[in-house]
Structure formats: structure tokens, C-alpha cells
């Protein structure tokens, strides 16, 4: 099996990211699989190379070792999405030639009005398929005015999958997904496109990530079906929140690994605290000194001395200061 951690370098890595990296890593180690790191830096406005490098420094400092990824390479690189545009472009061109995608010229105002004003008795559309039916002449004409976005032609069917932590999931594509954008008019590739093409190309078989991404899975599974690939195992883990109920990522500043390190925390202490807060190791045998190394955690995971990661069932996990 192969699992991965796929952060977006848009800020400093924080406890919420480490939590996800940790679950993904331990799950891979428990199964004696391959662990891959991929930098999801397609959003050129928000991602920065230096932040990516720092993120990798932080991961290394915490003790993570990856079998494939940035800095070490591997058979499926490059591992920075910003270096993979050719591949996304080629796939889109191929999909265009078989009619899986179409150009959309709708402006934001039109799309907002579809979603907010459904006809009486109808399920609201996220997108009404307006540009699916443009004539070739119309397309040519509109292209002279505006660079289109690209949408996937989504069939009306239901997607089901079993999530490791969230249970059985059912999504009706017609009402919950609709024809979605895979490339924006400004040239930016959509997360759903890049993540799916890369997970397939890199041979990923298990996806562990935050529960905030649960609703993107139906789109991604639809793309798997277009590629003729069978879907992978999914686990959308409960997110960490602080005592006031905020998602940790929203208050990055106070809990970045960089700041914790600079204020004297060791990596063993950070991991120990995280495990304690999240009941990741058996309570009674918990580390009296409150520290643990990643190597020890992997040992425990392999000997099942670790509270199974599968027993995390809460929606959210509160982290106290």
C-alpha cells in the first residue's frame, strides 16, 4: 500500500497539519507501506516555495521520513505540483478530445444566480450545464472575448464510499456536485484535478486527510472513474479545534511548529502532547514525562500498543493549551 501527506505550502505548518501527517504516517507504517510527500503548490497566489521548504524542514525536525517526495525524489516525481502542469494539461486535452470536458464562459454573477434561485420544486443547481450545449459557432465567438474555464461533464448518478472515520458516505452527483470546474479561466488548475491525477500517477492507495475535505471526495472519485481507475481507501480524520471551538488552522500563529520550537518545545514533547490530547496512545501507559519520538510511535503502531487510529470517531478533537 502507499499513503501520502499532501500539504499546501501557504503558511507555516501547525499542529493541525502535524496531526494529519501523523495519522497518515502511522497508518502507512502499521501496514508496512510506502509513505509519500507531495507539495500542493498549484495556487501560485498563496503558495510559496520558501514556505514549502520550511514545511519540509519542520517535518524532518519532527522525525518524519518519506520514501518518495521532495528532496529525495522517487520514481513518480516531480513532487511539487507546480512542476506538473504539462501532465495536467495533457490529460485535459485528452479529455477534451473525447468530450469529457467543455469550456464554460459563464461569469461569476451568472453562476451565483443559478445557485441562489432554483425554480420552484427543483433541486438547486450548483451549475446548470448552460455551456454544455453551446454550438461550435458560439464557442468560437465567445472565445474571442474571454478565456473559458473548463468543466467536467458529470453524469447523474450516486457515488458511495466507506470512510474509515466518517462511515458510509452517499453523494448524489446531480444535486451535490454538478459539472465542476477543473481549470479556471485564469489558467489555474483545480485542486480536485491535480490531487486526483497525482494520486493516480503516484500509485497512492490510501488517502488520509482532514474531515474538511470529505465533500471533495465525490468529485475525485468521479475523476477516477473517467480515468478507468478503481477508487482508493479514504479516511477523513476529525479535525483539531481549540477550547473556543476554532479550527486550529484558523489560528495558525499561536500553534505553528516554528513558534513552538522557538519557544523551546522539543519534537518529542510536541508529539507527546498531540498523542495525549488525541488519545492516540493508551491512556494508562502514557508517558509520564509527556514525550515520545516518532520512531517509538511507529514501534507502538506496529505492535498495536497504540490506540487504533480507527477508533477516532469524534467530529472534532479539542486541544487545550
Run of H or E including 136: helix 136-143
Q: Alpha carbon 20 to chain centroid distance?
A: 10
Identify any residues that bridge with 162 across adjacent strands, giving them in sequence order: 168
Q: How far is the CB of 267 from ligand GLU (least distance, A)?
A: 21
- Choose from Zn ion, ligand GLU, none: what does 76 bind? Cβ within 5-8 Å by kind: none
Question: Contacting ligand GLU (CB under 6 A), which of 40, 179, 198, 268?
Answer: 40
Tell me if 2 contacts ligand GLU by CB under 6 A. no
How many residues of this chain bind ligand GLU (CB under 6 A)?
7
Whether 144 contacts 189, CB under 8 Å: no
Tell me if 257 contacts Zn ion by CB under 5 A. no
Run of H or E including 243: none
Q: Distance between CA atoms of 37 and 231, rounded to whole angstroms?
A: 20
Of 44, 36, 56, nearest to 82 by C-alpha is 44
Stretch that binds ligand GLU, among 4-12, 127-135, 151-159, 268-276 (CB under 6 A): 4-12
Q: How far is the CB of 207 from ligand GLU (least distance, A)?
A: 6
Looking at the Cβ atoms of 79 and 105, the one nearer to ligand GLU is 79
Tell me if 7 contacts ligand GLU by CB under 6 A. yes
Distances in whole angstroms, Cα of residue 21 to Cα of each of 294, 301, 304: 11, 15, 19
Per-residue cell: 103: 469550456
- Choose from ligand GLU, Zn ion, none: what does 106 bind? Cβ within 5-8 Å by kind: Zn ion
Q: How far is the CB of 279 from ligand GLU (least distance, A)?
A: 23
Q: Distance between CA atoms of 64 and 202, rounded to whole angstroms?
A: 19
Stretch that binds Zn ion, among 89-97, 106-114, 214-222, 275-283 (CB under 5 A): 106-114
For binding to ligand GLU (CB under 6 A), which residues are involved?
6-8, 40, 195, 209, 213
Amino acid at each position: 500500500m502507499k499513503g501520502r501527506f499532501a500539504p499546501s505550502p501557504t503558511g507555516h505548518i501547525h499542529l493541525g497539519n502535524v496531526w494529519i501527517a501523523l495519522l497518515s504516517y502511522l497508518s502507512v507504517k502499521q501496514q508496512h507501506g510506502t509513505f509519500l510527500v507531495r507539495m500542493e503548490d498549484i495556487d501560485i497566489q498563496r503558495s510559496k516555495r520558501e514556505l514549502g521548504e520550511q514545511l519540509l524542514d519542520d517535518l524532518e525536525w519532527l522525525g518524519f521520513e518519506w520514501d518518495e517526495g521532495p528532496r529525495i525524489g522517487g520514481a513518480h516525481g516531480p513532487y511539487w505540483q507546480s512542476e506538473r502542469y504539462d501532465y495536467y494539461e495533457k490529460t485535459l486535452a485528452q479529455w477534451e478530445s473525447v468530450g469529457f470536458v467543455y469550456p464554460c464562459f459563464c461569469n461569476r454573477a451568472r453562476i451565483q444566480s443559478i445557485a441562489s434561485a432554483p425554480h420552484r420544486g427543483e433541486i438547486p443547481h450548483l451549475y446548470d450545464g448552460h455551456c454544455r450545449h453551446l454550438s461550435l459557432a458560439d464557442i468560437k465567438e465567445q472565445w474571442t472575448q474571454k478565456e473559458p474555464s473548463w468543466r467536467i461533464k458529470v453524469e447523474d448518478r450516486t457515488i458511495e464510499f466507506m470512510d474509515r472515520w466518517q462511515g458510509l458516505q452517499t453523494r448524489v452527483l446531480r444535486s451535490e456536485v454538478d459539472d465542476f470546474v477543473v481549470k479556471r479561466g485564469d489558467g489555474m488548475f483545480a485542486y480536485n484535478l491535480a490531487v486526483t491525477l497525482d494520486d493516480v500517477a503516484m500509485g497512492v492507495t490510501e488517502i488520509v486527510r482532514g474531515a474538511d475535505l470529505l465533500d471533495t471526495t465525490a468529485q475525485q472519485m468521479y475523476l477516477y472513474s473517467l480515468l478507468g481507475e478503481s477508487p482508493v481507501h479514504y479516511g477523513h480524520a476529525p479535525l483539531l479545534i481549540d477550547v473556543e471551538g476554532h479550527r486550529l488552522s484558523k489560528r495558525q500563529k499561536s500553534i505553528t511548529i516554528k513558534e513552538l520550537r522557538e519557544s523551546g518545545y522539543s519534537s518529542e514533547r510536541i508529539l507527546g502532547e498531540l498523542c495525549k490530547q488525541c488519545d492516540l496512545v493508551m491512556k494508562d501507559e502514557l508517558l509520564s514525562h509527556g514525550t515520545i519520538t516518532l520512531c517509538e510511535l511507529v514501534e507502538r503502531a506496529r505492535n498495536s500498543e497504540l490506540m487504533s487510529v480507527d477508533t477516532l470517531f469524534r467530529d472534532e478533537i479539542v486541544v487545550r493549551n
